[in-house]
Amino acid sequence: MTTFLTPQQRADRTSAVVEAAVTAGRGLGLTVTEPTVLHDVFSVVVHLAPSPVVTRIPTVLPRPDDLAALARRQQDELDVTRWLADQGIPVIGPSPLLPREPVQRDGFSMTFWPFVEEARDMEPDYVANAESVADLHAALRAYPSHRLEFLSAADPRFIADSLALLDHHPDLIGAAELDRARREWQLLEPLVRSRSAFEARFPGIGLQPIHGDSPPANIFRAVDGDLFADFELVTLGPVEWDLAALGPEHEAAYNRGARRNGMRPLDEEVLAFVNAVGMLRVIATLTLVPQLPKLMEYLKPAVDHWQTMPFAAGMSS
């Protein structure tokens, strides 16, 4: 039987994270008297008030003890956002007040960012955001791609390990659904793990640095204007990855932005591939539900929808 984190255990985890963040911030010279939790889902985001600094600490993770792997990914985020900021791209870059590298404290790994006031009275326009993602991709084409791994955002190890682990959690997914997921992964895994296999299957689809985590949903509405944010999964891949599962209206908006930037439109076959991989990441994320029980209410509708979709989004071997 699956053991789920209790509300008290989650509250204790958040308290421990805040304490670690405050201690780390003070150790780096910040004045911190009124720490405020701004966000607490996959990461805990803490404003180290009154200092104009926010720290983000991932807490719901496939491999919570592998701080070295987490720090490598965090460093990629810090590097690419600093580079974008230096190019004049509207982005939330690293805090200039602290070292631009992950800091580890009490078993947590954290990064530091400037506090930016949010325009809370404005609703996000995800279609307009999708069009602006093409501007981000145009800028990222010049980023040194050798610094990034191919499709690390897909985290194939996480998918493979989760599909094995779910055998022991029948309360999270049924046997028939798990069997389908494994058969889909058998078809898709080689294209996720191997750049050369991907390029052979999709000739002419250029790879470049991409955001990695649905950038239309990760544009921060600041008082002074929209800012690209949350590059935690920055990776090397096809631009289609950043538009996965968003649907035709958002894809058309992106294509308008692509034409404006002299870039190719989205490829339907590659979209099918990234949509299929994205659904398997949803299945894999079921293994994180014990760490964050309320995840199930968001994942279940996606799993139900996946079962109505063609096998592997209609891709053939």
Across the chain, mean pLDDT equals 95
Is the domain of 37 the same as that of 109?
A: yes
Residues 169 and 263 in one domain: yes
User: Domain end: 94, 114, 134, which one?
Assistant: 114
CATH code, domain with 106 = 3.30.200.20
Same domain? For 46 and 164 the reply is no
User: What number is the average pLDDT over the span 183-201?
Assistant: 97
Whether residue 267 is predicted with pLDDT greater than 60 in this model: the reply is yes
Q: In what order do the strands lie in the sheet with 103-105?
A: 32-40, 43-50, 53-58, 108-114, 103-105
What is the average per-residue pLDDT within 56-77? 95
**Residue 226, token pair as written in the block:** 């929209």
Whether residue 145 is found in the same domain as residue 105: no
Q: What's the one-letter identity of residue 301?
A: P
**Under 8 Å CB-to-CB from 317, ≥6 apart: which residues?**
187
**Distance separating alpha carbons of residues 304 and 177, to the nearest angstrom:** 10
198 vs 150: CA distance, rounded Å: 10
- 24 shares its domain with 107: yes
Q: Which residue range(s) make up the domain with 20? A: 7-114
What CATH number does residue 145 fall under?
3.90.1200.10
Q: What is the DSSP string of 189-211?
A: HHHHH-HHHHHHHSTT---EEE-
Does the residue 15 lie in any domain?
yes
- In this structure, are 99 and 159 located in the same domain? no
C-alpha span between 225 and 143 (Å, rounded): 24
Domain limit, last residue, from 114, 146, 168: 114
Inform me whether the pLDDT recorded for 289 exceeds 60.
yes
Q: Which of residues 114, 146, 177 is at a domain's end? A: 114
In a domain, 1, yes or no: no
Q: What is the pLDDT of residues 126-140, one digit of tens each?
A: 999 999 999 999 999
Residues 291 and 230 in one domain: yes
pLDDT band, very low/low/confident/very high, at 314 (cuts 50, 70, 90): confident
134 phi and psi angles, rounded to 5 deg: -60, -35
Quick one: pLDDT at residue 2?
79
Task: Indicate whether 317 belongs to any domain.
Answer: no
In a domain, 119, yes or no: no
Per-residue pLDDT tens digits for 205-239: 999 999 999 999 999 999 999 999 999 999 999 99
Q: What local confidence, expressed as pLDDT, does residue 145 receive?
A: 85
pLDDT at 1: 62
Look-up: residue for tokens 């279609």? 127
Q: Does residue 79 surpass a pLDDT of 90?
A: yes
Number of folded domains that form the chain? 2
What local confidence, expressed as pLDDT, does residue 313 receive?
84
